[in-house]
A and B are shown apart, each in its own frame.
Chain A
Amino acid sequence: MVQFIFIIISLVGVIWQLTTLAEISFWSVSPNLVLAIVLAGAVFIQESSKLAWLVFIPALWLDFLSGYPFGIITLGFWGAFFLVDFLAARWLKKNDLPAKVSLLLIGISFFEISQVLLLKLAFYFRLVAGFDFDSWYFCLKLMASILINGTLALIILWFFNKSIFLNNYDRPIKLR
């Protein structure tokens, strides 16, 4: 049941991402709800949980509907998810706010950088028509993305922590 509800919520998130959130932009950066869900999930979900694959459903869904070659977004989410999970397990404790903020910051930065690198790779394979990279603009975009998506991920994380359903249902996901 919890899987079904998570899938429905994440799909509604993807649709909301493609409609309402796409029209909101700060410094030409729109909030990336799916990235926020994936990173919040990486911080929240117990590391040994077999339910972690659920976070890839919205990523794949978004990838199908996005414009760039299929796989770029999902690979970015995959890398960010496992990097955050890896760091959380080894160097950082997930149960305090500075640690959570640091994890989200690293996850968002990794995602944005991975998108540029994967796009460059796609350009080499002639999967995209052009590759235009401006380091100054990228730094500005990265800062805006960290601010906007980090705040969004913290809100989602707070929502996950407060969710009685996620925390009580058969203990599939354990609150830290």
Chain B
Amino acid sequence: MSQGRFSKTFYLFSVLAVILLLIFFNYLGWLGSSKNFVYNVSSPFMKLFQAVDRQIAGAFNFWTELKNLNQENKNLGDENRRLLEENTNLKEVLRENELLRQQLAIAPPEKEQLILADVIGYLPQVGQYFLIDKGSQQGLKEGMTVVAANNFFVGRLVEVGDRWAKVSLVLDSNFLVNVLTQETRVRGIVKGNHGLGLIMEMIPIDAQIKVGENILTSGINDQISGGLVVGQISSIEKKESEIFQQAILQTVVNFNKLEKVFVIINSGS
């Protein structure tokens, strides 16, 4: 064996040994301070890059979306009128609910405590993850639920550092969440469709679900708060030969444009 080849082989295996050693150290939890260091160094630059991106994207989007403004305005007006009607009905239901609670002497549900965090990084190559700028110093723990404004479900904390945390998004195909349909109350499981959207599976073939129906987290078994909006059914795929049907969901959150999220630190449910 020549000197050059020996040195190259030695080099190859020494690099491998270092990587495996680091994996072992990480398994033992000895790399926590290194991760905090990496995050603390990267964080200001990531925030700067995000801010510049949003400025540029904002200016670009303004010009590209200008032509659709009239149609969008009309759509929003229609939606506004529909929501106004729905809101009025819901206020009536809320009042009725309060009265019933008073009569039955039931305490009002505990309010959830939320922590606001900035999204500072996004890694869609391997799975679907966010980095946020809050961590264990702010009371965050692994497994906590992450939502966007209006109780839209985003994901779950999978790793928490001192001042950072990683959020596994519902879009990840390895992320499973128990759900139910809002109107027909059919249970199922939602998982990511390889970054292309969401699929609801394990729906019994005879269950009557509807296109346009909202899908909510069920809060059963997976430590995720119940009643959070996951998506809306856009189409249903049903084969008579199978025992389950599946539904394709439209996400309610534009994950690429999320700037801020909330972490639920105590679930009220």
CB within 8 A of A18: which of B19, B20, B122?
B122
Determine the chain A residues whose CB is within 8 A of the CB of B26 once the complex forms: 69-71
Q: Which bucket holds chain A's interface residue count?
A: 35 or more
CB within 8 A of B166: which of A48, A56, A67, A82?
A67
Q: When A23-B256, A28-B194, A129-B175 are in contact, do A64 and B45 touch as well, CB less than 8 Å?
A: no
Stretch of B8-16, B83-91, B242-250 that contacts chain A? B8-16
CB within 8 A of A15: which of B45, B191, B196?
B45
B50 contacts partner chain A, Cβ-Cβ < 8 Å: yes
B7 contacts partner chain A, Cβ-Cβ < 8 Å: yes
- Among residues of A, the one whose C-beta sits closest to the C-beta of B131 is A65
Determine the chain A residues whose CB is within 8 A of the CB of B207 once the complex forms: none
Query: Are B191 and A132 interface neighbours, CB within 8 A?
Result: yes
The total of chain B residues at the interface (CB under 8 A) is 49
Contact with B along A128-172 (1 / 0, CB 8 A): 111110100100010000000000000000000000000000000
Within 8 A of A (CB), among B12-35: 12, 15-16, 19-20, 22-23, 26, 31, 34-35
A117 contacts partner chain B, Cβ-Cβ < 8 Å: no
CA–CA, A134 and B195, complex, Å: 13
Contact with B along A12-25 (1 / 0, CB 8 A): 10111111101101
Interface centre among A11, A18, A22, A141 (most CB of B within 10 A): A18
Stretch of A37-45, A72-80, A99-107 that contacts chain B? A72-80
**Nearest CB of chain A from residue B58's CB, rounded to whole Å:** 13
Query: Are A22 and B124 interface neighbours, CB within 8 A?
Result: yes
CA–CA, A129 and B129, complex, Å: 14
**Nearest CB of chain A from residue B103's CB, rounded to whole Å:** 44
Query: Are B126 and A14 interface neighbours, CB within 8 A?
Result: no
Query: Are A15 and B129 interface neighbours, CB within 8 A?
Result: no
Q: When A66-B129, A129-B174 are in contact, do A47 and B8 touch as well, CB less than 8 Å?
A: yes
Q: With contacts defined as CB atoms under 8 Å apart, how many contacts are there between chain A and chain B in the complex?
A: 123
Q: When A23-B53, A23-B256, A65-B131 are in contact, do A129 and B31 touch as well, CB less than 8 Å?
A: no
CA–CA, A69 and B195, complex, Å: 19
Determine the chain B residues whose CB is within 8 A of the CB of A12 once the complex forms: 45
Sampled A-B contacts (26; CB under 8 Å): A12-B45, A15-B45, A18-B123, A18-B131, A20-B53, A22-B121, A22-B124, A23-B122, A62-B123, A64-B34, A65-B38, A65-B121, A66-B123, A67-B127, A67-B128, A67-B168, A68-B126, A69-B26, A71-B20, A82-B12, A128-B174, A129-B174, A130-B175, A132-B173, A132-B191, A134-B173
**6 nearest CB pairs, A to B:** A67-B129, A130-B174, A71-B23, A18-B121, A22-B122, A28-B195
- Chain A contacts to B: CB under 8 angstroms: 11-12, 14-20, 22-23, 25, 28, 30, 32, 47-48, 52-53, 56, 60-62, 64-75, 78, 82, 85, 115, 119, 128-132, 134, 137, 141
